């Protein structure tokens, strides 16, 4: 492996042919990328973006919760992020009597802010650890390399965090395992809900408008991070004080115009833009359609119950939103991959590589090996999706699967009484959480359907031995579906819902009692079948793909070092910066989409009482009165609700700050557009857009609609 490939210079890139593609590590922007940003309009110095010596924009950017981005916007630790990022916390704070999800909420002062279970992470430092990792891994491959890497990553994280619950670290792979960086974070665990708009604004348009432009969603929520009185991260305490941040973003209400420069910091979750044609084919033909089919079924039964009862809607709201989001994404991804023949594009690139690799022993058989690996895995790929999205898509079965660790403990001769008691205590807590979130009616229908679909779609020789024979024998009724009867039996007889059975079990836990439970025996039939026969095949497929991907990437750099030096690593939930312009676009012949949507467009979509397009009465009154205040856009004589940019994002960027040339906040990224949903695998230079909520709409909702001007007064407004 050539040294130039592993050097940091690899990451100090010049601009791609299309400037807006790219998720750049801000630590390693390099002069040429920075110069291009300046050429496009950036007014800041490089060390104002990222610096280890003084405060910079990177210090205002946080990992919010488990998979979103947020930004600090005041000197009192105020956080802006998306509504859908705070959704679970808002739902957990809500009751039927005080339904903050439905009605909205803004704390009248700091004492009224609501405790959450959220954490936020601030990036502390980055270290290139490539040499250490490569030395430890040596020439290993396959499972040996995977296991060594996991052990090494764990050891390095422990070295850094040293048991400190307020430290976190990640050893992240770049360029498919050819480079590694250590990211160290400060963790803050006292995060409180400050405010959110009503769901009719925060989710306006619902599933109909999801991933679509034009878009009129007020996708924002407001939180605050607290620290101990001596200025350190701390668990929740009434004595804690608002965080004094190293840096916070000023907020611009000056507006912008089509073509203006913008940039975005955040934590994109994952892309795979060097995926092979084999991977694209597997996604479009098996993985994506199977996932969409199973999620469609789950959503159907959940929605049936949610629309009947406000309490059920609140109970299932967070789960439903999460399932629905990527149901539509993967449906759209498949359509775009096929429409733009990404498979053919990949094949062409691979043919060029193979022509270069001919006669080069290290590389000439890569795609022969890729083909063999995919062909060996392909027969089992659908079952893998069924296990994840179907069998474990039933909340009851997913919960019952957690009993397996208890069974193993009870079966062990070495298990101590203390260990068993601890496991039982954990089982009690897990059950309480499960029952709080469980809707039996929808779940029972999900179980019946997934059992039927598994039997129909998965080859008989891959099914759990004897399971369906016994099911059909016991529940073979002409009058009704045997799958419904079976699911009814499971729900009526599992100890998960029966207090007497449960109390009897925890007072005298036995393996026999677990193995007699119908929910447990059902899920373990599928899990055991998977573990014994297919899990190892999947692991071989993954490890082989990783080995081939690492080698393919190395070969690409050797084949065209100048071109490849001008690229960036796939997203992996590490801090990145992307830049471009506010920009309109033409999605198809004779159609042009403007760069902004306005309040007038929201009202035009309004349908009284509709599940997705209703609006609060006060909202309509404010609009009729044209009470826009200082948030009115001078060009449109209206409130700009959302806008689009050419920046390159993916999942994880939700909540990312969109900034103007001066580093001032102008909006929050929250979605991509349907025409470019192939972006995880292939960036589209013409159609890719980031959908953002305008910060002026955020402030109008807080101030005018929410009556919380004191929150706006915290901000450093640029007028």
Kindly list the catalytic residues. 84, 219, 654
CB distance 579 to 21 below 8 Å: no
Candidates 647, 631, 662, 651; CA nearest to 692 is: 647
Distances, alpha carbon 390 to alpha carbons 282, 582, 669, in Å? 19, 40, 31
CB distance 599 to 197 below 8 Å: no
- Token pair belonging to 620: 């309509």
Candidates 80, 255, 55; CA nearest to 712 is: 80
The DSSP code for 390 is I
Pairwise CA distance, residues 582 & 644, whole Å: 6
Radius of gyration of the chain (CA): 26
Pairwise CA distance, residues 302 & 394, whole Å: 11
Supply angle C-alpha 403, 405, 407, rounded to 5.
70
- Token pair belonging to 570: 């796939």
Give residue 271's Cα distance to chain centre.
Answer: 12
Element (H, E) at 106: strand 105-106
Query: What DSSP letter does each residue of 203-249 carry, written as one string?
Result: TTTHHHHTT-SS------EEEEEEE-TTS------TT-EE---S---
- Token pair belonging to 275: 């995926």
Pairwise CA distance, residues 227 & 596, whole Å: 38
Give residue 231's Cα distance to chain centre.
Answer: 31
Would you tell me how many other CB atoms lie within 10 Å of the CB of residue 295?
21
Pairwise CA distance, residues 26 & 18, whole Å: 19
Pairwise CA distance, residues 56 & 70, whole Å: 15
Pairwise CA distance, residues 42 & 122, whole Å: 24
CB distance 340 to 678 below 8 Å: yes
Pairwise CA distance, residues 478 & 599, whole Å: 56
Distances, alpha carbon 386 to alpha carbons 286, 295, 433, 526, 629, in Å? 11, 10, 25, 10, 52
Phi and psi angles of residue 194, each rounded to the nearest 5 degrees, phi first: -100, -40
β partners of residue 530 = none
Place of tokens 């529940």: 475
Pairwise CA distance, residues 245 & 79, whole Å: 11
Angle of helix 535-559 relative to helix 518-533, nearest 10 degrees? 50
Pairwise CA distance, residues 128 & 686, whole Å: 35
Place of tokens 């509504």: 83
Candidates 82, 134, 131, 17; CA nearest to 654 is: 82
Phi and psi angles of residue 70, each rounded to the nearest 5 degrees, phi first: -140, 175
The two beta strands, 640-645 and 690-694, are: antiparallel
Would you tell me how many other CB atoms lie within 10 Å of the CB of residue 230?
7
Element (H, E) at 200: helix 199-202
């Amino acid at each position: 492996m050539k040294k130039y490939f592993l050097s940091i210079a690899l990451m100090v890139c010049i601009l791609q042919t299309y400037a807006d593609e790219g998720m750049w590590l801000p630590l390693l922007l390099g002069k040429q990328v920075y110069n291009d940003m300046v050429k496009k309009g950036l007014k800041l110095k490089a060390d104002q973006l990222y610096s280890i010596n003084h405060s910079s924009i990177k210090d205002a950017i946080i990992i919010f919760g488990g998979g979103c981005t947020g930004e600090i916007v005041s000197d009192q630790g105020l956080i802006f992020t998306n509504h859908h990022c705070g959704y679970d916390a808002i739902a957990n704070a809500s009751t039927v009597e005080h339904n903050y999800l439905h009605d909205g909420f803004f704390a009248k002062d700091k004492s009224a802010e609501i405790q959450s279970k959220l954490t936020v992470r601030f990036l502390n430092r980055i270290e290139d650890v490539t040499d250490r990792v490569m030395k430890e891994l040596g020439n290993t491959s396959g499972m040996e390399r995977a296991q060594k890497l996991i052990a090494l990553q764990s050891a390095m994280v422990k070295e850094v965090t040293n048991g400190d619950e307020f430290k976190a670290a990640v050893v992240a792979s770049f360029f498919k395992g050819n480079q590694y960086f250590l990211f160290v974070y400060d963790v803050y665990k006292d995060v409180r809900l400050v405010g959110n708009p009503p769901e009719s604004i925060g989710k306006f348009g619902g599933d109909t408008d999801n991933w679509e432009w034009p878009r009129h969603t007020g996708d924002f929520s407001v939180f605050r991070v607290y620290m101990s009185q001596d200025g350190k991260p701390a668990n929740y305490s009434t004595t804690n004080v608002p965080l004094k941040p190293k840096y916070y973003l000023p907020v611009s209400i000056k507006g912008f115009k089509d073509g203006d420069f913008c940039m975005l910091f955040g934590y994109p979750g994952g892309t795979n833009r060097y995926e092979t044609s084999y991977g694209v084919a597997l996604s479009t033909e098996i993985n994506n359609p199977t996932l969409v089919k199973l999620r469609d079924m789950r959503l159907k039964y959940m929605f049936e119950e949610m629309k009947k009862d406000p309490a059920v809607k609140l109970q299932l709201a967070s789960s439903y939103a999460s399932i629905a989001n990527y149901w539509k994404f993967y449906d759209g991804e498949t359509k775009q991959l096929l429409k733009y023949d990404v498979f053919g594009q990949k094949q062409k690139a691979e043919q060029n590589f193979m022509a270069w690799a001919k006669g080069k022993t290290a590389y000439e058989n890569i795609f022969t090996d890729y083909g063999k690996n995919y062909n060996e895995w392909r027969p089992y790929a659908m079952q893998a999706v069924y296990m994840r999205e179907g069998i474990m898509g039933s909340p009851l079965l997913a919960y019952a699967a957690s009993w397996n660790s208890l069974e193993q403990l009870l079966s062990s001769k070495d298990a101590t009484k203390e260990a068993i008691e601890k496991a039982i205590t954990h089982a009690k807590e897990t059950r309480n959480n499960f029952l709080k979130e469980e809707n039996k009616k929808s779940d029972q229908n999900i179980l019946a359907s997934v059992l039927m679909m598994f039997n129909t779609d998965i080859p008989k020789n891959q099914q759990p031995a004897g399971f369906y024979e016994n099911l059909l024998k016991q529940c073979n009724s002409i009058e009704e579906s045997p799958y419904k009867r079976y699911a009814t039996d499971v729900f009526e007889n599992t100890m998960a819902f029966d207090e007497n059975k449960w109390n009897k079990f925890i007072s005298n836990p036995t393996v026999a009692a677990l193995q007699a439970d119908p929910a447990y025996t059902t899920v373990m039939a599928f899990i055991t079948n998977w573990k014994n026969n297919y899990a190892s095949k999947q692991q071989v497929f993954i490890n082989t793909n990783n080995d081939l991907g690492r080698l393919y990437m190395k070969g690409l750099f050797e084949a065209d070092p100048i071109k490849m030096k001008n690229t960036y690593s796939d997203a992996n939930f590490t801090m990145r910066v992307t830049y471009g312009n506010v920009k309109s676009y033409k999605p198809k012949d004779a159609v042009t989409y403007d760069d902004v949507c306005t309040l007038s467009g929201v009202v035009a979509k309004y349908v009284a009482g509709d599940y997705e397009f209703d609006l609060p009465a006060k909202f309509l009154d404010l609009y009729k009165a044209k009470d826009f205040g200082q948030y009115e856009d001078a060009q449109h004589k209206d409130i700009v609700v959302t806008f689009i940019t050419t920046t390159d994002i993916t999942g994880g960027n939700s909540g990312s700050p969109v900034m103007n040339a001066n580093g001032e906040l102008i909006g929050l990224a929250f979605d991509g557009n349907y025409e470019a949903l192939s972006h995880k695998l292939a960036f589209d230079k013409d159609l890719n857009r980031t959908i953002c909520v305008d910060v002026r709409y955020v402030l109008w909702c807080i101030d005018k609609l929410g009556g919380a001007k004191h929150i706006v007064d915290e901000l450093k407004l640029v007028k």
